Homo-oligomer: A and B are copies of this chain.
């Protein structure tokens, strides 16, 4: 890895030659104006200019993916749009190890360019200087396991539903039931933050005693991710409140809050940060626009989340299983390998949406990891045997996956899994 350059990989589409389009990106994001200006010397370009490192052709299309591109005047008649993967390297000293300045450079005004009919930031190679400035996850996978008391298998979790509208008392009662049922992890919905009908402070005060009560009885303290998303003052106060009440996790809608407040919170945070990625579809669903998860998750791991949502296999959302599998692997793959940085910045992917016991073997086969939070809603609490049976069915799904035994076979000797398959296995 280069110590003093950032390498950004883009998928692009352009009516120009790929090399030209790549050069425009490099110029625009290091120095550019439509008329050459005084001071823009060759020496300056040499020292501060971004460089095109690699150009890979990926074929041609006749229809532009995005509006607003302009073909070169030399292109008479039918315009062809080249697709390719290009790598551009930026001198680190242009912006320094700052997440916001990095973002403004590698994901800034280049999306607007008329030279492009498609551009997506796919990946980033970051020099170790970023690790000195951003500590990354304060707890990560090991810290989360320690606090949740779960080894050798995924954390089985659920989300408080209905997402909104439950009174504080109703939430507390529900949490008591869920914790009693053996859930490792319970979280607020991303829509549930600090509503007037059930204020955040009251929710914490009502929920934590229930969790402690169950822990006193069972020896197992469920990790509850309280959604502290809000203005920064609110987030800091809320974090302290969760901590004082014995809570072990805070949740943040990372895109709504942004890098500035997230990194500020991280430096003062004494609990794992559960990162929800609501809005991710808006910046990623079009294959030739925005940002891919591989680049995205690196930025938020640096910023300091401990968990990050990745969607779900066979979910109600748009991503394919292959994409979700790749996202899970991204989260548990160390950053800064091959450098002096020993921290791995590994975070726990949170898998959710339409999950049930039968999701486990597919996920494990695709990712080969158990370092995940596996969230299910109906797949747990709508289990015919009740919530506790739902939790056990999820655990059994993972046992089958880990042992390499077919789900149906494992179900022969495991009743909860058998019932889950009967109820949830024919959906889709």
> Which residues on A are within 8 Å of B, measured CB to CB?
29-40, 44-45, 47-48, 66-69, 93-96, 98-101, 103-105, 107-114, 159, 161-166, 170, 174, 190-191, 193-197, 229-235, 253, 255-264, 278-283, 285-287, 289-291, 311, 316-320, 354, 377-379, 381-382, 427
State whether A256 touches B101 (Cβ < 8 A).
Answer: yes
Given A33-B377, A258-B259, 4 additional A-B pairs, CB 8 A: A30-B191, A37-B162, A96-B196, A282-B291
Complex formed: what's the CA distance from A47 to B163 in Å? 13
26 contacts between A and B (CB under 8 A): A33-B378, A34-B354, A35-B382, A39-B161, A48-B162, A66-B285, A69-B318, A98-B234, A100-B230, A103-B253, A107-B278, A109-B317, A110-B281, A112-B280, A113-B281, A232-B263, A232-B264, A256-B258, A256-B259, A257-B259, A257-B260, A258-B262, A260-B264, A282-B289, A285-B289, A286-B286
State how many copies of this chain the complex holds.
Answer: 2
Q: Which of A98, A100, A159, A377 has the most CB of B within 10 A?
A: A100
**A316 touching B113 by the CB < 8 A rule?**
yes
Least distance between A387 CB and chain B CB atoms (Å): 10
- Give min CB distance, A41 to chain B, whole Å: 9
B67 touches A285 (CB 8 A): yes
Q: How close is A82's CB to chain B, nearest CB, in angstroms?
A: 17
Chain B residues with Cβ below 8 Å from A379 are 35
**Cβ contact within 8 Å between A104 and B281:** no
Report which of B100, B233, B291, B318 forms a contact with A253, defined as CB distance below 8 A: B100
Q: Which residue of A32, A34, A110 has the most chain B CB atoms within 10 A of its CB atom? A: A34
Chain B min CB distance to A224 (Å): 18
Q: Return chain B residues, CB-CB under 8 Å to A108.
A: 190-191, 253, 256, 278-279
Give the residue among A45, A233, A289, A427 with the most B Cβ atoms within 10 A.
Answer: A289
B96 touches A194 (CB 8 A): yes
In angstroms, Cα B403 to Cα A253, docked, is: 50
With a CB–CB cut-off of 8 A, which chain B residues contact A229?
Answer: 98, 100-101, 104
Chain B hits for A105, CB < 8 A: 191
Q: Is the pair A109, B66 in contact by a Cβ cutoff of 8 Å?
A: no
Which residues on B sit within 8 Å (CB–CB) of A230?
98, 100-101
Contact B48 A165, beta carbon cutoff 8 Å: yes
- Residues of chain B lying within 8 A (CB to CB) of residue A232: 232, 260-261, 263-264
Q: Are A93 and B197 in contact (CB under 8 A)?
A: yes
User: Given the known A-B contacts A37-B161, A194-B98, are A104 and B256 also in contact in the complex, defined by CB atoms under 8 Å?
Assistant: yes
Give Cα A289 to B288, complex, Å. Answer: 12
User: What's the Cα separation between A189 and B283 when bound, in Å?
Assistant: 24
Contact A100 B66 (CB under 8 A): no
Contact of A33 among B99, B103, B161, B190 (CB under 8 A): B161
User: Could you tell me the distance between the alpha carbons of A280 and B162 in the complex, rounded to whole angstroms?
Assistant: 33
Q: Enumerate chain B residues within 8 angstroms of A67, measured Cβ to Cβ.
A: 285, 287, 318
Measured between beta carbons, the chain B residues less than 8 angstroms from A283 are: 282-283, 290
Shortest 3 CB-CB contacts between residues of A and residues of B: A258-B258, A260-B261, A68-B318
CA distance A165 to B105 in the complex (A): 14
